[in-house]
Structure 1
Amino acid sequence: MSVLDLKKFTVIFLAVFFVACASSYMDTRHSSPNFENDAFKNTNSVKFLSFWEMFKSVLESDVEPSVWPEWVDTSADTSPVKKVVNSNTRITFINHATFLLQTGGFNILTDPVFSERTSPFSFLGPKRVHSPGIAIENLPPIDVIIISHDHYDHLDLDSIRALAKRDNPKIYMGLGVGERLSGSEQIIELDWWEASRVADDFQLWFVDVQHFSGRWLTDRNSTLWGGFLLEIAGQKIYFGGDSGYADHYKRTFERFGPVDIAFLPIGAYAPREFFEEVHMDPSDAVQAHLDLQAGISIGMHYGTFQLTAEAINEPVKFLEQAKKEADIGPSEFITLEIGQPFELASGSPARSASLK
């Protein structure tokens, strides 16, 4: 090869290389009707405080944050089962909004967070007060990961990358979030109400919830947040991610009918004037349970990272009060112990025909 040919080859190679790098992530956000002026919007009008408004309000607030313990001893499942091949569902609460769901031969992980802090900084920010219910290295092979949105307490990049490298799972998320995970091979982004066929007997939908997104001061609502509706092993499982109470739960019921299992946030709600529109309290969560007509609901989003002012055990205590006020039975809406597997047998009353 002559020097001239070598130069031509180098120019062509570099051009192809840089085009490939530039196109490794395809931004599909602009195709969404929910995306306007470089930001996603909620279905209902929601007024968000800016960072500086929030900071000023916190300084001026009369609400004193409760003092959480520095550490809480919890159990851990050191040898979880590898698979649940029947239509039973095995659920292990790992922490915050992270659950291992095992059913129909699939291992599904929700919003995996195993890091010490939920923060852009390793030395500052909300720090966990207990160990994960399953250590990341003890997880069985993960087939599917679902990510509700990009906040640090739901999208832990170090954990995702470790699991992607180990297991190469399919990873489902809202539009725009995939750019933060560009090194993973099986990223599937979805708009609200969009479906994806995971396997012949496993389909999921990304559904509307009322919340927001962003990981820094300048990227508010640049990626899409949401929940998931999973149809697998003859059941419907709802994972609510993070949300304030709004009519999206009723809309989900209208589209899909009653769900068998619902995972609903019950914590990070105080003071209410700051968080009412984006974080449910236990009373809101009970109403969401009723809106979804869930066979059983499981509380989450509490007790691991102190994100707001309420006491560490307050969400569980208030949930019991809210259930009594709504005349809901003790076993209809529960909380799980960290690291203790909970198994639901097939055949719950909420099961119905396959979704269309």
Structure 2
Amino acid sequence: MPASKRAANRYYSGPPSDHFDGTLFFNPGGRMPGRFTDLLKWQFNGQRSKWPATSPSPFPQARPAARIEGSGLIVTMVGHATLLIQTAGLNILTDPLWSQRASPFSFAGPRRVNTAGIAFEDLPPIDLVLVSHNHYDHLDLATLRRLKAVHDPLVITPLGNDAIIAAAIPGMRLSAHDWGDRVETGNGVAIHVEPAHHWSARGARDRRMALWAGFVIETPGGKFYFAGDTGFHDGINYRLMAQKHGGFRFAILPIGAYEPSWFMAPQHQNPEEAVQGMKLANATFAAGCHWGTFQLTDEPIDEPARKLAEALAAEGISGDCFRAMRPGEAWEVPDTGASR
């Protein structure tokens, strides 16, 4: 559709770039999200696996330490794409979601099948929040509102998402950035906002009006990579991360919500691709996220973890190096790992 006939971007106004056409964001050289007819084809394909109503984690709810100083690194899974990263005296949350549904509605939409791995009341002081994009399973305004009231963290997010948050939560501390930006946050830590292959929307009329991204956390104890929500995209962004950052002590990579692949591949990677991403990005350790908490797609609840184990075995990588993390699981990540 010609730009002159499009609705104006309600979240962001800025100059065109290699991933922004002046109105909408896009994936350079990538694939567009499916059309509405594709969505209907998927929804009525009859291939959706039946998930259990509840799927308790084998780990009890964690009670994190207040701070982890220096080069120590403890990563605790809350659920889906929400993890607590503790290092260099800072507490960082990725895509925080404590609500019961990943939805604009309290009565409909994907429902949590296991308890959050950390009770909200047991969170340590939260300094930073990384919000990768505006889909409801990643940008949860109810949770951000609670975090503002109790912790008042700084939220770092890609362009346009700040407008959504600011409209709903006045006074929240926001820092919005384009791909390639670097943000100093103190304690020797900096956040790099990096490309992901995805898209965005809160409703039917704002598709691709806010940017999506991954993040690199640069610390005295090494670099950590949160890929956000992403399709594999021929490994292009993983190669870019290795070229730009040299490698990672630790990466958080999505491993779920990939079936059917003909529809999901532009936005979600499968476990085999996640293992290739770990290798291409030169990450020593990795945590699998985006699985087992909210049913978003067709695969069985336990398939991502099983296929991850198979992919690691095929590549000769120890399962101790890439874990499909479950709610409540806390991982004290070594600062030097065994050879992959």
TM-score, normalization by structure 1? 0.87
What is the identity percentage for the equivalent residue pairs of Structure 1 and Structure 2? Answer: 35
Preserved contact between residue 98 and residue 120 of structure 2 (Cα < 8 Å)? yes
2:118 corresponds in structure 1 to: 134
C-alpha distance in 2, partners of 1:90/1:126? 29
1:275-309: CA deviations, max 9, x gaps? 01210000110110111010101100000000000
Tell me the distance in 2 between the aligned counterparts of 1:78 and 1:240. Answer: 24
CA contact (8 A) 2:42 2:260 kept: no
1:58 aligns with 2:43: yes
- The equivalences for 1:256-275 within 5 A come to 256-275=245-264
Which residue does 1:345 correspond to in 2?
334
Q: In 1, distance between residues paired with 2:262 and 2:293?
A: 23
Alignment coverage as a number of residue pairs = 323
Higher Cα Rg: structure 1 or 2? 1
Instruction: Give me the whole-angstrom Cα distance separating, in 1, the residues matched to 2:296 and 2:127.
Output: 30
- Structure 2 match to 1:69: 52
Q: Does 2:271 match 1:286?
A: no
How far 1:348 moved relative to its partner? 4.6
Alignment of 1:28-107 (within 5 A): 29-31=13-15, 33=17, 34-59=19-44, 61=45, 63-74=46-57, 75-77=59-61, 79-107=63-91
Mapping of 1:100-179 within 5 angstroms?
A: 100-179=84-163
The amino acid across from 1:339 in the alignment is: G
Matches within 5 A, 1:237-248: 237-246=224-233, 247-248=236-237
Question: Residue 51 of structure 1: CA displacement?
Answer: 2.8
CA distance in 2, matches of 1:29, 1:207: 20
Asked if the contact 2:199/2:267 (under 8 Å) is kept, the reply is yes
Give the match for residue 204 of structure 1.
191
Deviation at 1:121, TM superposition (A): 1.2
**CA–CA separation in structure 2 for the residues paired with 1:332 and 1:32:** 40
1:229 matched to 2:212? The reply is no
The question of whether the paired residues in 2 share the 8 Å contact of 1:148 and 1:225 is answered with: yes
Matched residue SS, 1:162: helix
Paired letter, 2:48: P
The one-letter amino acid of 2:173's match is: Q
Aligned pair 1:324/2:307, yes or no? no
How big is the shift at 1:38? Answer: 1.6
* Match for residue 303 of structure 2 among 288, 293, 314: 314
- Alignment RMSD (CA, Å): 1.7
Cα pair 2:11 2:164 within 8 Å, conserved: no
Report the alpha carbon displacement of residue 127 of structure 1 after superposing the two structures with TM: 0.4
Q: How far off its partner does 1:200 sit? A: 4.7
1:165-221 per-residue CA deviation (whole Å, 9 max, x = no partner) reads 211111000000001111243100010011100115000101001000111111111
Does the aligned pair in 1 maintain the 2:154–2:175 contact within 8 Å? yes
Alignment-mate amino acid for residue 81 of structure 1 = A
Inter-partner Cα distance in structure 1 for 2:140 and 2:11? 21
**What is the identity, as a one-letter code, of the residue corresponding to 1:185?**
M
1:331 corresponds to which letter in structure 2?
A: D
Alignment partners' CA distance in 1, 2:55 and 2:336: 36
SS at match of 2:211: coil
Preserved CA contact (<8 Å) 1:245 1:279: yes
CA distance in 2, matches of 1:190, 1:37: 16
Specify the alignment match of 1:218 in structure 2.
205
User: 2:182 aligns to what?
Assistant: 195
Q: State how far apart, in whole Å, the 2-side matches of 1:27 and 1:272 are.
A: 30
1:78–1:57 distance in 2 versus 1, CA, 3 Å = closer
For structure 2, the 5+ residue unaligned runs are 1-9
Using the alignment, how far apart are the partners of 2:162 and 2:24 within structure 1?
16
Offset at 1:335? 1.9
